[in-house]
Amino acid sequence: AQTVTQSQPEMSVQEAETVTLSCTYDTSESDYYLFWYKQPPSRQMILVIRQEAYKQQNATENRFSVNFQKAAKSFSLKISDSQLGDAAMYFCAYRGAGGTSYGKLTFGQGTILTVHP
Protein backbone atom coordinates (compact mmCIF):
# COMPACT_ATOMS: atom_id res chain seq x y z
CA ALA A 1 0.00 0.00 0.00
CA GLN A 2 1.12 3.51 -0.68
CA THR A 3 1.97 5.79 2.20
CA VAL A 4 2.64 9.52 2.36
CA THR A 5 4.60 11.08 5.20
CA GLN A 6 4.86 14.72 6.15
CA SER A 7 7.40 14.95 8.94
CA GLN A 8 6.78 18.59 9.82
CA PRO A 9 3.55 19.02 11.83
CA GLU A 10 4.09 22.79 11.91
CA MET A 11 6.19 25.35 10.07
CA SER A 12 6.42 29.10 10.26
CA VAL A 13 7.79 31.77 7.94
CA GLN A 14 8.10 35.52 7.84
CA GLU A 15 6.09 37.35 5.25
CA ALA A 16 8.04 37.71 1.98
CA GLU A 17 10.44 34.92 2.94
CA THR A 18 10.71 31.42 1.47
CA VAL A 19 9.65 28.21 3.16
CA THR A 20 9.91 24.56 2.14
CA LEU A 21 7.49 21.87 3.23
CA SER A 22 8.67 18.26 3.11
CA CYS A 23 6.92 15.15 1.90
CA THR A 24 8.09 11.60 1.32
CA TYR A 25 6.11 8.71 -0.05
CA ASP A 26 6.42 5.01 -0.47
CA THR A 27 5.21 3.14 -3.54
CA SER A 28 6.13 0.24 -5.77
CA GLU A 29 4.45 1.83 -8.78
CA SER A 30 6.46 3.50 -11.51
CA ASP A 31 3.76 5.82 -12.77
CA TYR A 32 1.84 8.10 -10.45
CA TYR A 33 0.89 11.67 -9.65
CA LEU A 34 1.75 13.83 -6.67
CA PHE A 35 -0.16 16.81 -5.39
CA TRP A 36 -0.04 19.56 -2.81
CA TYR A 37 -3.37 20.74 -1.48
CA LYS A 38 -3.95 23.76 0.73
CA GLN A 39 -6.66 23.81 3.39
CA PRO A 40 -7.28 27.24 4.91
CA PRO A 41 -9.44 27.70 8.03
CA SER A 42 -12.53 27.57 5.81
CA ARG A 43 -11.72 23.84 5.37
CA GLN A 44 -11.95 24.08 1.59
CA MET A 45 -9.37 21.83 -0.11
CA ILE A 46 -7.57 23.82 -2.79
CA LEU A 47 -5.16 22.31 -5.29
CA VAL A 48 -1.83 24.12 -5.20
CA ILE A 49 0.33 22.15 -7.60
CA ARG A 50 0.65 18.73 -9.22
CA GLN A 51 3.54 16.67 -10.57
CA GLU A 52 3.50 13.73 -12.96
CA ALA A 53 6.08 11.14 -11.99
CA TYR A 54 7.16 10.58 -15.60
CA LYS A 55 8.16 14.22 -15.93
CA GLN A 56 11.66 15.09 -14.78
CA GLN A 57 10.99 18.80 -14.79
CA ASN A 58 9.77 20.18 -11.50
CA ALA A 59 6.32 21.76 -11.59
CA THR A 60 5.89 25.45 -10.84
CA GLU A 61 2.80 27.59 -10.29
CA ASN A 62 3.64 31.23 -9.71
CA ARG A 63 5.20 31.42 -6.23
CA PHE A 64 4.85 27.67 -5.66
CA SER A 65 7.34 25.14 -6.92
CA VAL A 66 8.25 21.57 -6.09
CA ASN A 67 11.46 19.63 -5.77
CA PHE A 68 10.61 16.16 -7.04
CA GLN A 69 13.24 13.51 -6.38
CA LYS A 70 11.83 10.28 -7.77
CA ALA A 71 14.64 8.00 -6.67
CA ALA A 72 14.48 9.34 -3.14
CA LYS A 73 10.66 9.37 -3.22
CA SER A 74 10.66 12.95 -2.05
CA PHE A 75 8.30 15.73 -3.06
CA SER A 76 8.83 19.05 -1.29
CA LEU A 77 6.90 22.27 -1.78
CA LYS A 78 8.66 25.62 -1.87
CA ILE A 79 6.67 28.78 -1.30
CA SER A 80 8.49 31.92 -2.32
CA ASP A 81 7.63 35.46 -1.24
CA SER A 82 5.26 34.11 1.41
CA GLN A 83 2.03 36.01 1.93
CA LEU A 84 -0.36 36.12 4.86
CA GLY A 85 -2.92 34.33 2.72
CA ASP A 86 -0.62 31.34 2.43
CA ALA A 87 -1.28 30.46 6.06
CA ALA A 88 -3.09 27.11 6.02
CA MET A 89 -2.73 23.38 6.46
CA TYR A 90 -0.86 21.86 3.52
CA PHE A 91 -1.37 18.26 2.46
CA CYS A 92 0.82 16.20 0.23
CA ALA A 93 -1.09 13.55 -1.72
CA TYR A 94 -0.32 10.58 -3.96
CA ARG A 95 -2.37 8.98 -6.69
CA GLY A 96 -1.43 5.92 -8.67
CA ALA A 97 -1.79 6.04 -12.44
CA GLY A 98 -3.25 2.59 -12.78
CA GLY A 99 -4.16 -0.67 -11.12
CA THR A 100 -5.97 -0.90 -7.83
CA SER A 101 -4.84 2.50 -6.64
CA TYR A 102 -6.15 4.32 -9.67
CA GLY A 103 -8.20 7.35 -8.76
CA LYS A 104 -7.49 7.08 -5.02
CA LEU A 105 -5.72 9.94 -3.32
CA THR A 106 -3.59 9.01 -0.33
CA PHE A 107 -2.87 12.00 1.90
CA GLY A 108 -0.10 12.82 4.32
CA GLN A 109 -0.84 14.01 7.82
CA GLY A 110 -0.57 17.67 6.90
CA THR A 111 1.70 20.58 7.84
CA ILE A 112 0.31 23.70 9.47
CA LEU A 113 1.98 26.77 7.98
CA THR A 114 1.96 30.02 9.93
CA VAL A 115 2.97 33.25 8.20
CA HIS A 116 4.21 36.06 10.45
CA PRO A 117 3.82 39.67 9.31
Which residues contact another protein by CB under 8 A?
33, 35, 37, 42-47, 50, 52, 91, 95, 100, 103-110
Helices (H) and strands (E) in the chain, counts: 0, 12
Min dist CB 114 to another protein, Å, is 18
Of 16 and 54, nearer to another protein (C-beta) is 54
First-to-final CA distance of the chain: 41
CB of 19 to another protein, least distance (A): 22
Decide: residue 3, CB within 10 A, 0-12 exposed, 13-18 middle, 19+ buried: exposed
Long-range contacts, stretch 51-60, CB < 8 angstroms, 24+ apart:
51/75, 53/97
Nearer of residues 68 and 91 to another protein, judged by Cβ: 91
Residue closer to another protein by CB (options 20, 39) is 39
How near is the Cβ of 24 to another protein at its closest, in Å? 16
